[in-house]
Structure 1
């Protein structure tokens, strides 16, 4: 999954946690999965060494290409946050809110064993005063309701969406005001 932890100019974005969207679900239990099927008998030493070296190089190249591809979405989200910083900050200031919710639409596809991430659109869904009020924006209809994605011609692409929670960094004056309001009155 791409890294959606982005910050710019006092605004911070992070993916919404599963616990913030849904009630906790208990697993079915059972024994842990074993990986016995991955153990094969060794063959001739030279062939095994050459295969191991080739496989190691291929794994490094594959991991590097996947990391670069994931980073492209992070850079696009960072650019969006930079371009919309003043709009988001003004909205938060006008409504006296601290938290905002963003939806990122992107597409994944499989290419030679790698997952390819293709950028899409990013939308500001709304603002709320605190983290506890996120359910006002992330409703069940939004999360599980009908979705309208353009269907690709070859159906090899899979549309995805991520919900991100952002907040603004409070200034020192705001922190002092909150502290004064929360501290007990002097006797």
Structure 2
């Protein structure tokens, strides 16, 4: 059954250049390998200055449903270490993987107490030395890390480390909480790991 979406946009200062003008969000209900045409059946455009009708070429597309498996993994563990450090120091805190087999990507959100610590940087660990890593430490109390390795990650060890500046007084502590952890193997199958949180104590 065909579905139709109507979109109307207006800008008194004209649209110009290249790029997206709108996004359409779909709820995917079809079976794996099924497809749907994405066709622009009608397009009307006018110049803002004088309302002259414009002729704009269009290109249709196709949406294909893919299969992504989800599997429980009792062997894969993502673990934060219990760590200590003095006020004014910068400490590298590792994010460790245990029981890793052919892991292709990981997305990790780490939370900490911004009154005690301040995230400075994220560096690759021994397991992540060949991975592409992107990290965002701009938001206080949160570190977002995305890693991808097309050759697969195997074994045990640190996949990344977070450089934390210690700003709390001696005796204060911070949680090191793995708030979100998404792991996929090389076949794009989702692996659900065990997560172990840690703590940081200022000495």
Q: Please state which band the TM-score falls in when normalised by the shorter chain.
A: under 0.3
TM-score (norm 2): 0.22
Point out which structure has higher relative CO (alpha carbons under 8 A, 6+ apart).
1
**Between structures 1 and 2, the one with greater helix share:** 1
